C-alpha cells in the first residue's frame, strides 16, 4: 500500500548536511521523495518534503519517524505528518497552557507571593517529568496559597506572557476555519481572559477556591489531569464532527501524554525527555507557530 506523508523540518538554521541526512534517512527507509520546498522567516527556517511510503500503516509511519529521528542533527527537527491530516478541511488544535501556550508556570507565579516559589517549582518539575501523581502534586502546591488575597490573581495575570508565535498560531487556525482549544492543569481565573482575547473555541482549567476574598489553598471539583485532557480532546472533537486523526495536540509535560497519544499528531513543545521520547514530533525552539507548518495551515 502506498501512502503519502509530508516530512516537515524546522530549525533556526537548516544546513545542507542536515537536510542530506534527512533525505538519506527517508530513502533508506524505502520512501520516495516527490517534491521539496523551503519556507520560514527570520526566526526559523522550514523545509517541506512530500514523500511516498510503501507502508502507510501506523506502524510503518512510526518506523519512518524513528529512522528520521535517529538521523537528526542538532538544530533540525522533522515531523512526519500523514497527508490526510494536512489536507483535512477542518482540524482541531488542542494545547496545554503552562509552558506551552504561555511561557510561565502559573502555580509558580502564585507561589512566589507566598514565598514558596522554589519549593513549588521543584514539585512542578517532578510532576512534569512524570515522577509524581499530577492531582496529588497539584493539591500540595495549591495548599501553599492558602490565605493569599484573591487580588494576587490579577497581579499574576499581568505577569503572564504568551509563548512566541502563540497568537499568530491561533489566528491562523481560526482564519482557516479550524477549531482551537486549550485544556490546562492550571487555573480558570488566569486562563479565562487569555482564552477570550485569543477567541478560543474551547477552554478548561482548574478552579481556585476563593472565600471571603482570599484563596483557601484548594481547587473546586475534579482536577484536570492527564486523563481529563484526553477526555476533553475526544469530547470536543466529537462535538465538532472532527475525526481524531485530524486533531493536533501540543504539550510539554507528563500530564499531556494521554492527549498527545490520542491525537492524530502529538507535538512535544520544548518538552521533558519522557514526552519527547513518545510524541509524534518535537519542537525544540521557542516558536509555537511552528505547529502551523506541521499542520499545513
Q: List the catalytic residues.
A: 96, 98
Give the count of beta carbons closer than 10 Å to the beta carbon of residue 288.
26
Which secondary-structure segment (H or E) carries 262? helix 257-262
Q: How far apart are CA 253 and CA 81, in angstroms?
A: 22
**Which position has the grid cell 490579577?**
154
Is 73 buried (19+), middle (13-18) or exposed (0-12) by CB count in 10 A?
middle
Residue 244, all three cell numbers: 481524531
Residue 4, all three cell numbers: 503519502
Pairing of strands 77-82, 3-11: antiparallel
Amino acid at each position: 500500500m502506498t501512502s503519502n506523508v509530508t516530512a516537515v523540518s524546522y530549525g533556526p538554521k537548516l544546513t545542507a548536511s542536515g537536510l542530506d541526512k534527512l533525505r538519506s534517512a527517508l530513502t533508506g527507509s524505502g520512501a520516495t521523495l516527490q517534491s521539496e520546498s523551503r519556507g520560514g522567516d527570520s526566526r526559523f527556517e522550514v523545509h517541506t518534503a512530500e514523500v511516498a511510503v510503501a507502508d502507510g500503516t501506523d506502524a510503518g509511519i512510526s518506523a519512518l519517524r524513528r529512522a528520521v529521528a535517529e538521523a537528526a542533527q542538532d538544530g533540525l527537527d522533522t515531523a512526519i505528518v500523514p497527508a490526510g491530516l494536512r489536507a483535512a478541511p477542518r482540524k482541531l488544535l488542542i494545547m496545554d497552557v503552562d509552558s506551552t501556550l504561555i511561557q510561565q508556570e502559573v502555580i509558580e507565579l502564585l507561589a512566589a507571593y507566598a514565598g514558596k516559589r522554589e519549593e513549588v517549582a521543584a514539585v512542578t518539575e517532578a510532576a512534569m517529568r512524570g515522577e509524581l501523581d499530577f492531582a496529588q502534586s497539584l493539591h500540595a502546591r495549591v495548599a501553599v496559597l492558602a490565605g493569599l488575597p484573591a487580588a494576587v490573581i490579577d497581579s499574576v495575570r499581568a505577569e503572564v506572557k504568551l509563548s512566541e508565535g502563540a497568537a499568530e498560531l491561533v489566528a491562523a487556525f481560526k482564519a482557516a476555519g479550524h477549531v482551537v482549544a486549550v485544556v490546562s492543569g492550571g487555573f480558570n481565573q488566569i486562563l479565562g481572559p487569555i482564552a477570550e482575547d485569543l477567541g478560543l473555541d474551547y477552554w478548561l482549567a482548574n478552579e481556585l477556591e476563593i472565600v471571603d476574598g482570599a484563596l483557601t489553598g484548594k481547587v473546586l471539583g475534579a482536577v484536570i489531569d492527564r486523563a481529563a485532557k484526553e477526555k476533553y480532546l475526544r469530547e470536543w472533537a466529537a462535538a465538532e464532527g472532527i475525526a481524531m486523526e485530524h486533531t493536533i495536540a501540543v504539550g510539554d509535560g507528563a500530564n499531556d501524554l494521554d492527549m498527545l497519544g490520542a491525537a492524530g499528531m502529538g507535538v512535544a513543545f520544548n518538552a521533558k525527555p519522557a514526552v519527547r521520547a513518545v510524541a509524534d514530533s518535537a519542537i525544540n525552539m521557542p516558536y509555537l507557530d511552528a505547529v502551523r507548518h506541521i499542520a499545513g495551515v
